[in-house]
Amino acid sequence: MSGDSSDLEALFDSIADGRAPAPAAVPPVVAAAPAPSATSSREVGDSDELQALFDSFTGTQEVVSAPAAAAAVDEEWEGQEKVFQRVGHMARQLHDTMRELGYDKIITQTVGALPDAKDRLAYIATLTEQAACKVLNATDVANPLVDALESDAQGLAQRWDRVFANQLGVDEFKQLAAETRAFLKEGLPQKTSGTKEQLTQIMMAQDFQDLTGQVIKKVVTLAQDMETQLMNALVEVMPGEHRTESVNSLLNGPVINAEGRTDVVVDQQQVDDLLDSLGF
């Protein structure tokens, strides 16, 4: 398939140059060709004949270039048709090559596996979202409990401080003692068991890890198979100069593997350092 890359290049060049200037230049030469061949058959000997030959050459070219300009529109269409034909030809060739190499079956299999992988990923998204919601709900319930505990304890502590400062009457002291007893026997255990319950909820919400872990492993295996197979097929048919083009964009999502990369930051400190170094 190495011949294909030069074909492709020629095709690309012809498209990139707008409409093919090459075909427009070719006709004059072709049209002029009979003239030299006719004269040369008579064996060009002197300079007059050479001059005549030269005149005939330039003359024909001038004559031909006028109709060539007039026919430019037609040629443009002809050029496009050629492009379509070439693309069609290349597609056919690609198809045949893939079949010869046995890639068509692999690709059919891979494409068949994609909806399954999509479902699996959707399942992961659902489970993780549910888990996140459960945890956030649990913290929403537990936070007020802990806050109440804190303020109740603070209130009692302040009143006990007054006892130790001899600022409390006997009745007040009795009431404080009763309230403290109630807090220790009821208020406190009630709220701690409520908080514990939420902690258990948070723990149980992590059960998705087991399920998603299994599903993720399957999808990763599928992705790896797909990558190797498709890469093999693509490397086979892709012209060399397109192989190293990397995608460059600002929307990449989280960096999955930063090892050996210098274009990404791995923590907040590096973000801050970078911004500092730029004077922001």
Partner 1 sequence: MPDPKMKFLVVDDFSTMRRIVRNLLKELGFTNVDEAEDGAIALQKLQCGGFDFVVSDWNMPNMDGLTLLQTIRATPDLKHLPVLMITAEAKKENIIAAAQAGASGYIVKPFTSATLSEKLQKIFEKMDKSA
- Which residues form the interface with partner 1 (CB under 8 A)? 129, 132-133, 136, 139, 250-255, 258, 263-268, 271, 274-275, 278, 280
> DSSP alpha helices (H): ranges in 168-255?
170-182, 188-204, 208-237
Residue whose CB is less far from partner 1, 62 or 245:
245
Long-range own/partner contacts, residues 154-163 (CB < 8 A, 24 or more apart): 156/180, 156/183
Task: Give the CA-trace dihedral at 66, 69, 74, 79, to 10 degrees.
Answer: 120
Nearer residue to partner 1 within complex by CB, 41 or 277: 277
CB burial string 98-137: b at 16+ within 10 A, e below: beeeebeebeeebeebeeebeebeeebeebeeebeebbee
Q: Shortest Cβ distance from residue 63 to partner 1 (Å)?
A: 58
Q: How far is the CB of 137 from partner 1 (least distance, A)?
A: 10
- CB of 127: closest distance to partner 1 in angstroms? 13
Q: Quick one: 2 or 268, whose CB is closer to partner 1? A: 268
Instruction: Find out whether 219 and 120 touch, Cβ atoms under 8 Å.
Output: yes
In the complex, least distance from residue 101 CB atom to partner 1, rounded to whole angstroms:
37
Pick the closer one to partner 1 by CB: 40 or 252: 252
Nearer to partner 1, 56 or 139 (CB): 139
Among all chains, which residue has been given the structure tokens 């000997």?
45
Smallest distance from partner 1 to CB 278, Å: 6
Question: How many angstroms separate the CA atoms of 119 and 246, rounded?
Answer: 29
Interatomic CA distance for residues 76 and 74, integer angstroms: 5
Q: 134 with 205: CB under 8 angstroms? A: yes
Closer residue to partner 1 in complex, CB, 41/257: 257
- Residue closer to partner 1 by CB (options 48, 263) is 263
- Cβ burial, residue 153 (10 Å; 0-12/13-18/19+): middle
At residue 94's C-alpha, the angle toward residues 77 and 91, to 5°, is: 25
**Alpha carbons 13 and 7: distance in angstroms, whole number:** 10
CB of 249 to partner 1, least distance (A): 9
Q: How far is the CB of 138 from partner 1 (least distance, A)?
A: 12
